[in-house]
Structure formats: structure tokens, C-alpha cells
Amino acid sequence: MHPNNDIAMKEQSTENLHKEEVAPYKQCLNCGADLQGMYCHKCGQQATNPTPKVWEFILEYMNNAFIWDTKCFLTIWNLIRRPGFLTNEFNAGKFVSYENPLKLNMFFLFVFVTIFLLFSDMQKANKSFDDFSRGELIRPYMVLNALNENADYSAKMKESERDTIQLAVPLDHANKFPQIITVHRTMTDYQHEKLDTLVASVPKILIQDKILVCKGSNIYSFSERNAIVDQMFDMGIWSKLCGKLLDIWTQYFPLIFLLTSPLLAFAVKLLHLKRKKPFISFFIFALHYTAFIELMLLVIYLLYLTVQPSFEILQWVMVLSSGLYLTIAVKNVYESNSWIKSIVKALLISLVYLLICFMAFFIIFIIATFMVMDKYV
């Protein structure tokens, strides 16, 4: 090859390199310093497109997913203290000063799972689920209602002799079925599970058929499994279905939670069709909001492990904090001059988001149903 051609090719390559290194703007979008290349000499942010494609944004997250620095604390502080601020900063092109919102979501989920595995009482957690699906909080009412509505067994209970026992059952459940449980007095809470220990008379047939079983300390409670009751209503399938549902939800919870973020972003975009903004800006808003929700869930779970307030209080804390946060974030990002519009849009976004979560839960429920029914067919 001729030497002159080599020189020409080198010069052409140099020109192309310089063209690629020219920033699309003169001042850094993050700190405002004058740019002298593709990277800011002051803060280090790359002079990239301020509105990247969704796949570019996700790729950037994957490249930095496991690298953390002091920006984490600054990001969390601003996330809590200034709703919508991080979204505005990102939309303004300030990527380096704060953590990637996808990384923020994964960080909160990682902390939540770690605390759950290390500090929670797994036996208590499993028992709490048993109480929900087939156990002591819901099962007594379902069993009593099934026994009361079954004409044949109701007749047997009327003919049966009665015996006075100590019974672990919610007092309001017992009072709804006085023909089955005659309460004499209330003693104490049963193992701090919100079940009253009652002195009551019951038909002996319930003990003979092992619908009521003694679990120790001469205290009877409703059995977790009983063939007679299961014939009245398919409690066995219900329990297995709830168990399968919990397994699926636990295994795929991070994925399900993050998958709702694009749908939430789409809902926000529907309410702002007149704004000619790229989808990524609404996606960032959704990610910051879900990050706050995850943080609140983490705080509530820690309160549950330590202070143990009532479930109703925790519910109200979650609802009020998430609603207030969303309203302020919508106002700061989209409706800076109108509180009324912000409140209305926050309510609409919440409604759509709850609908999306319900749809996700319903799909999981259907999948769990087919997985359980397949074993019965």
C-alpha cells in the first residue's frame, strides 16, 4: 500500500475519532462545567443523550448494578425528603449525581429479603400464613359456618352430649354460633396470635370426630385437616392453592414488582399525552415511586419485627404515606401550579396501579389454580 494512502487513512481515522468525541452540548448537564470532551473534567459524567432509549438505560444499569458508593445515601435522602426531585434531576440530564433508579429498587429489595431471612422468625411467618390459608384465624369461622349449614351434621350436634373445655377461638366467631359454642367466660390470649382462650361447652361429637383437637395444656382448637370438614367444602384444595400462590409470589416477587413499573409508567403517560416527552421520563418517575413504596414496606416490616403495632395502623401508614408522596411527586414533576390537578391525577394513577397489581395477582392465582388442579385430575 502506498505510504500516502496510509497517511490519508490515519488522518481520516483521526478526524472520525474527533467527530465521535465532540459532545452534543457545550456545558455538562450535571454540574454546568464547560465540556472539553465526552466526559466532564469536574464531575465525570459522560456527555450522552439526555433522553436515552429504554434499552440503553437498562444496559447502563446492568453495567453498574453491583457498584455502590456514597451517592446511595444522598439518593435515598432526596427520595424521601423531596418527592419528584430525583425524576426532575434525571430528566435534566443529571445522571452521575444520583443512583440509577433500577439499582435503587434492587437495593431495597435486597435489603428487605436479607432482613426477612436473617431476623424474622420463619416458623412464625409460616404459621402466620397457615393462619391465613387454613389456620387458626380464618379456619374456625369457615368450619363453624360449614357445620352450621350442613343439615345432617347440625342434627348430630343437637343430639350429641356437650362437654365443657378450654377452646382457642376468636370470641366473635364463637358468639356468631351459640348453638355450637356456648361461651362461659374468656381466659387469656392464645400464644399472642389474637385468639381468645375460652371456657365453653361444645358438642362432644366435635371432639370424637377430631374436628376439635387438643394441642397441649388442655386447650382445644380446630384441626388443620379433617376429612369430614373437607367434604363439606374443599378446604384441602384451598390450602394447597394458597400455598402454591405464596410460593410463586415469594419466588418471583422482585420480578413482579419491577414489571409493574413500565405499566405504571404507561398509566402516567396516558394522563399526560399532551406532553411530548419520551417514555423513559415516565418510566423513571414510576421507578422512583416504586422505590419509595419498597422503602416504606421495608420500614413497616421492621416496625412489625420490633414495635409490633396493630395491622390496621400499619395499613393506614402505608396508604397515607404512599398517597401523599405520589401527590407531591405529581405536583413537583407535572403539575407545579395546581394542587387540585395533582390530587386528581394521583388518585387516578393509584387506581390504575392497584388495578394492575390486582391483574398480576389474578394471573398468579389462575396459574396456581391450574398447577394445583392438575394434581387432582
pLDDT in tens, the chain (377 residues): 455 555 455 445 444 444 456 667 788 888 888 888 778 878 878 777 777 777 777 766 655 555 556 778 888 899 999 999 999 998 888 888 888 888 888 888 777 777 777 765 444 444 444 444 444 566 777 788 888 888 888 899 999 999 999 888 888 778 888 899 998 888 775 444 566 788 899 999 998 888 888 877 788 888 876 777 766 655 445 555 555 555 555 555 555 666 778 888 888 888 887 777 888 889 999 999 988 988 888 888 788 777 777 767 877 888 899 889 999 999 999 877 788 888 988 898 888 877 877 777 777 777 766 765 555 44
Interatomic CA distance for residues 33 and 38, integer angstroms: 12
**Other Cβ atoms closer than 10 A to 262:** 15
Q: Return the pLDDT at 83.
A: 92
Q: Return the pLDDT at 366.
A: 75
Q: Return the pLDDT at 129.
A: 42
Among candidate residues 304, 340, 251, the one with its CA nearest the CA of residue 120: 304
Q: Per the structure block, which three cell numbers stand in for 228?
A: 369430614
Look up residue 104 and give its DSSP letter: H
Residues 6+ away with beta carbon under 8 Å from 94 = 29, 30, 45
Q: How much is the pTM?
A: 0.53
Q: Per the structure block, which three cell numbers stand in for 124?
A: 412464625
Q: What phi and psi, each to the nearest 5 degrees, are found at residue 212?
A: -105, 130
Q: Return the pLDDT at 87.
A: 92
Q: Return the pLDDT at 191.
A: 47
Q: Return the pLDDT at 274.
A: 78
Q: Return the pLDDT at 85.
A: 93
Q: Return the pLDDT at 137.
A: 60
Interatomic CA distance for residues 25 and 27, integer angstroms: 6
Q: Return the pLDDT at 130.
A: 44
Interatomic CA distance for residues 355 and 163, integer angstroms: 49
Interatomic CA distance for residues 246 and 144, integer angstroms: 26
The alpha carbon dihedral of 235, 238, 244, 249 has a sign of negative
SS3 content of the chain, % helix, strand, coil (to 5): 65, 10, 30
The alpha carbon dihedral of 186, 190, 192, 196 has a sign of negative
